[in-house]
Amino acid sequence: MQVRFMPTVIAKKTKRDELVEVASKLFYEQGYHRTGIQQIIGVAGIAKGTFYSHFKSKEELGVAWLKARHWTWNGWLSDFIQNKAGSKASSKLMGLFDFLEEWMISCDFRGCAFLNTLAEIPEKNHLLRKEVEAHKKELLETIQSLVDAHFEDKQKKERIQLATIVYILFEGALVEMQNFHEVWPVVAAKKHLKLML
């Protein structure tokens, strides 16, 4: 069974939803800076006034895109962990990396929308950077909860350190799979995680 990396809930779309959907595709495929408002308006087939009735700026649309992507991507991860990884915390931790491998192959190694955006936005206080940080914090919290469940006998400080290592393994594998367009980084990360478990 293959995980379908697309939203599973279908609801009636508003013009705002359609704009976010069009922007999501363009931002992810082309990059945030290479995608202009005029292109988004053209692909969406709407009037300029319609765009500005929903979003004051490209940045505001970018924030809406990352918020939507956050919920979508976390839904994929959660579904995978719950349905394919098994019931043990150790299986779920390994499942994180199985998910990563399957997802990266499915997107042709295009990688993380959040990290791609981070590379384009150098300003620390930029609104899009805040969304990237929030997304990654939640991923770390998810990993921490799985580490806490598996390593119940360890002290809190040690569990925090272990979760940090698992998070770095995950993020490092993600970046290097995107870089090389190959799966060996996640294979190596899984081998190391098995030794930790």
Residue 85: pLDDT band (50, 70, 90) is confident
Tell which residue, 108, 37, 20, 36, has the closest CA to residue 72: 20
Query: Are the CB atoms for 113 and 28 separated by under 8 Å?
Result: yes
> How confident is the model at residue 1, as a pLDDT?
36
pLDDT for residue 125 is more than 90: yes
pLDDT-derived band at 8 (thresholds 50, 70, 90) equals: very low
Express each pLDDT in 172-192 by its tens digit: 999 999 999 999 999 999 999
Residue boundaries of the structural domains of the chain: 59-196
Q: For residues 37 and 55, what is the distance between their CA atoms, to the nearest angstrom?
A: 10
In tens, the pLDDT along 56-84 reads 999 999 999 999 999 999 999 999 999 98
Give mean pLDDT, residues 104-132. Answer: 96
**115: which 2 tokens?**
């990290």
**Residue 6 pLDDT more than 90?**
no
Superfamily (CATH H level) for 59-196: Tetracycline Repressor, domain 2 (1.10.357.10)
Inter-CA distances, 193 with 97, 101, 120, Å: 9, 14, 31
**CA 84 – CA 86 distance, rounded (Å):** 6
| 3-class secondary structure per residue, 165-197 | HHHHHHHHHHHHHHHHCCCHHHHHHHHHHHHHC
Question: Which residue is associated with the tokens 């206080």?
Answer: 125
Rounded-to-integer distance, Cα 22 and Cα 67, Å: 14
pLDDT of residue 4: 52
**16-35: per-residue pLDDT in tens?**
999 999 999 999 999 999 99
Degrees (nearest 5) of the Cα angle 61, 66, 69? Answer: 125
Task: Spell out the SS3 assignment of 94-144.
Answer: HHHHHHHHHHHHHCCCCCCHHHHHHHHCCCCCCHHHHHHHHHHHHHHHHHH
